[in-house]
Chains A and B, each alone.
Chain A
């Protein structure tokens, strides 16, 4: 063993590389751990700023069930967010009505019917549509949709539930399409082949085999779309008309939870009641989206296991 380059004690001696590996493991762990720190930080800091409001004269029943939002009234400020919740719900609801069928339809077309270059092209297009910034969508609602709605429906104001709903639907649809298409792709080809071998048509395969197999993934896509719509800020701020209102028709202007924060935070004094109320809305938004995202994740992961 004269030519053996290994010294006898190298089993017992840790080389610099051993320590470098340990060091790098710790360093990259910091990166991973930072995600936990940030999500906790977001909750804690938003809660901290909202705490002053929640702990003084805060009546959750009044906060969530009255529709009077007049935070800057000097004599008797009112903090009821029911109208804001209704605004968000109306806009998100309409957006989903627009987005869900078309997004799922588009996903089915891209995933099950389109082939080769067409499919590749559509996927890229959908990805690009998903990248359009929300402030641009808001501008579109303001400058293109607004006059269009006034002209088509003969209403005095075009900034309303309909406008924001369509904008938000067009915004959320590409993301839902991508995720739904992934869910369809996750269905193994042998399922399709087995059904086709028994003489089923493409359409029968989709309805009887692919959609049932992908249903959790599709549900996850829908939920993530709801989360996106719910949390959207700039487009909703610019396209809803931004007036506190319990909507009775799609032509009513409304105001959304997110938009309220965006519009008012700049005018409030740090630590004031109004400021605390806006952060309390923030906590509410955080918790709702947290639940939506967790549910979507559970549903989607349920698929992978099953």
Chain B
């Protein structure tokens, strides 16, 4: 009896020890990043102002604001979404609702995995070879956005497929048994119950697309432009590339300026991610079945 108790006590101690160890490892990953983010806020915060957001860079990009970059990022993301959301949702519907269990489906799934795994710079090379040169779109918003769309397509597909498959199979069978076609079932029962989950995925994609830099460097984003883009065939500045430019390519930039750009970029990305996560949790809380 006593021996068992002693053993138990030692086990409890080991248990507590390991618990602490793993907590520590988790904190090692998280705390430095939180410190870094705090530094960004402390150093970049003073730069932020309405003027910073809504004026152009001046004095060879060593002063002024970031408006053209912000404006360009919105353009790039919007055009990319126009392509990737319909394609991605369609792919998700196919894979979740129609695809038979055959080699073609397996190949599609492998393609999606690889699309997500190919380095962003290789996507950039593809964008140059395909859109800029082969299709003759030149370096333009169109080329850059198409490159971004293809790169982030897996995000939409995976998120949409997950929310489609979260709709219970019994609902589909109930519909099919009444003589509904697959498409009628999708339109009336599956999509209405998956659309908010798909929206969550789209917000996530917006966030991803906003932060990408390499794919747009040679396909449509410019270091500096004195004018705003007028159409999808124009080049544009972009916030992510702007951060790269002011922190590495321009001499004589005041130290605080790139911090301000970084802060705006990371605030946009994290805000959208938080919205997406909050929305997901809200949905989880109000199930309809």
Q: Which residues of A come within 8 Å of B, CB atoms?
A: 17-18, 20-21, 24-25, 27-36, 38-39, 41-42, 45-46, 48-49, 101-103, 105-106, 108-110, 112-113, 122, 124-129, 131-136, 138-140, 142-144, 170, 173-174, 177, 201-203, 206, 224, 227, 230-234, 238, 258, 261-262, 265-266, 270, 278-279, 282, 285-286, 289-290, 292-294, 297
Contact of B91 among A32, A144, A279, A292 (CB under 8 A): A32
Task: A130 to B110: give the CA distance in the assembly, Å.
Answer: 23
- Chain B: which residue is nearest A137 at the CB level? B36
What secondary structure prevails in chain A residues at the interface with B?
A: helix
Is there an interface contact between B98 and A31, defined as CB atoms closer than 8 Å?
A: no
- Chain A: which residue is nearest B157 at the CB level? A35
Q: Which residues of B come within 8 Å of A, CB atoms?
A: 11-12, 14-15, 18-19, 21-26, 28-30, 32-33, 36, 39-40, 86-95, 97-99, 105, 107-108, 110-126, 128-130, 133-134, 150, 153-154, 157, 181-184, 186, 207-208, 210-214, 217-218, 240-241, 243-244, 247-248, 255, 258-259, 262, 265-266, 269-270, 273-274, 277
Pick 29 A–B contacts, CB within 8 A, sort by A: A25-B94, A30-B90, A31-B93, A34-B87, A34-B153, A35-B111, A35-B115, A38-B115, A45-B125, A49-B133, A102-B28, A105-B25, A122-B26, A124-B277, A127-B277, A128-B273, A129-B29, A133-B265, A134-B120, A135-B211, A136-B211, A136-B266, A144-B36, A234-B214, A234-B244, A279-B129, A282-B122, A290-B117, A293-B114
Task: A122 to B12: give the CA distance in the assembly, Å.
Answer: 24
Task: Report the minimum CB–CB distance from B284 to chain A (whole Å).
Answer: 11
- Chain B: which residue is nearest A125 at the CB level? B30
- Chain A: which residue is nearest B24 at the CB level? A105
The CB with the most chain A CB atoms within 10 A, among B113, B207, B241, is that of B113
Is there an interface contact between B125 and A135, defined as CB atoms closer than 8 Å?
A: no
- Chain B: which residue is nearest A223 at the CB level? B117
Task: Report the minimum CB–CB distance from B103 to chain A (whole Å).
Answer: 12
Q: A35-B157, A132-B266 are in contact. Are A231 and B93 (CB under 8 A)?
A: no
Contacts of B15 in A (CB 8 A): 201-203
Task: Report the minimum CB–CB distance from B146 to chain A (whole Å).
Answer: 10
Task: Report the minimum CB–CB distance from B288 to chain A (whole Å).
Answer: 22
- Chain A: which residue is nearest B246 at the CB level? A139
Contacts of A261 in B (CB 8 A): 121, 124-125
Task: A115 to B77: give the CA distance in the assembly, Å.
Answer: 37
- Chain A: which residue is nearest B133 at the CB level? A270
Is there an interface contact between B243 and A135, defined as CB atoms closer than 8 Å?
A: yes
Task: A286 to B14: give the CA distance in the assembly, Å.
Answer: 46
- Chain B: which residue is nearest A256 at the CB level? B121
Task: Report the minimum CB–CB distance from A46 to chain B (whole Å).
Answer: 5
Task: A165 to B176: give the CA distance in the assembly, Å.
Answer: 54
Q: A39-B111, A41-B130, A261-B121 are in contact. Are A135 and B181 (CB under 8 A)?
A: no
Q: A36-B107, A203-B11 are in contact. List 4 more A-B contacts (CB 8 A).
A: A31-B90, A106-B25, A128-B277, A173-B29
Is there an interface contact between A201 and B14, defined as CB atoms closer than 8 Å?
A: yes
Contacts of A36 in B (CB 8 A): 107-108, 111
Is there an interface contact between B262 and A136, defined as CB atoms closer than 8 Å?
A: yes
Task: A270 to B222: give the CA distance in the assembly, Å.
Answer: 18
Q: A17-B181, A29-B98, A286-B122 are in contact. Are A133 and B266 (CB under 8 A)?
A: yes
Is there an interface contact between B129 and A286, defined as CB atoms closer than 8 Å?
A: no
Q: A105-B25, A230-B119, A286-B118 are in contact. Are A135 and B182 (CB under 8 A)?
A: no
Q: A35-B108, A49-B128, A285-B122 are in contact. Are A17 and B94 (CB under 8 A)?
A: no
Q: A41-B126, A105-B22 are in contact. Are A134 and B247 (CB under 8 A)?
A: no
Contacts of A142 in B (CB 8 A): 247-248
Task: Report the minimum CB–CB distance from B59 to chain A (whole Å).
Answer: 21
Q: A31-B88, A102-B29, A285-B119 are in contact. Are A290 and B114 (CB under 8 A)?
A: yes
Q: A46-B129, A224-B117, A231-B122 are in contact. Are A133 and B26 (CB under 8 A)?
A: no
Q: List the 7 closest A-B pairs by CB distance, nearest first.
A: A133-B211, A31-B90, A231-B119, A105-B25, A109-B22, A31-B91, A45-B129
Task: Report the minimum CB–CB distance from B100 to chain A (whole Å).
Answer: 11
Task: A270 to B138: give the CA distance in the assembly, Å.
Answer: 12
Is there an interface contact between A109 and B25, defined as CB atoms closer than 8 Å?
A: yes
Is there an interface contact between A35 and B153, defined as CB atoms closer than 8 Å?
A: yes
Contacts of A125 in B (CB 8 A): 30
Contacts of A293 in B (CB 8 A): 113-114, 116-117
Task: A234 to B244: give the CA distance in the assembly, Å.
Answer: 8
Q: A25-B182, A133-B266, A289-B119 are in contact. Are A279 and B125 (CB under 8 A)?
A: yes
Contacts of B18 in A (CB 8 A): 202-203, 206
Is there an interface contact between A128 and B122, defined as CB atoms closer than 8 Å?
A: no
Q: A36-B111, A45-B129, A231-B122 are in contact. Are A31 and B87 (CB under 8 A)?
A: yes
Is there an interface contact between A170 and B269, defined as CB atoms closer than 8 Å?
A: no
Contacts of A224 in B (CB 8 A): 117
Task: Report the minimum CB–CB distance from B82 to chain A (whole Å).
Answer: 14
- Chain B: which residue is nearest A24 at the CB level? B183
Is there an interface contact between B29 and A31, defined as CB atoms closer than 8 Å?
A: no
Q: A110-B26, A289-B117 are in contact. Are A38 and B111 (CB under 8 A)?
A: yes
Is there an interface contact between B150 and A38, defined as CB atoms closer than 8 Å?
A: yes
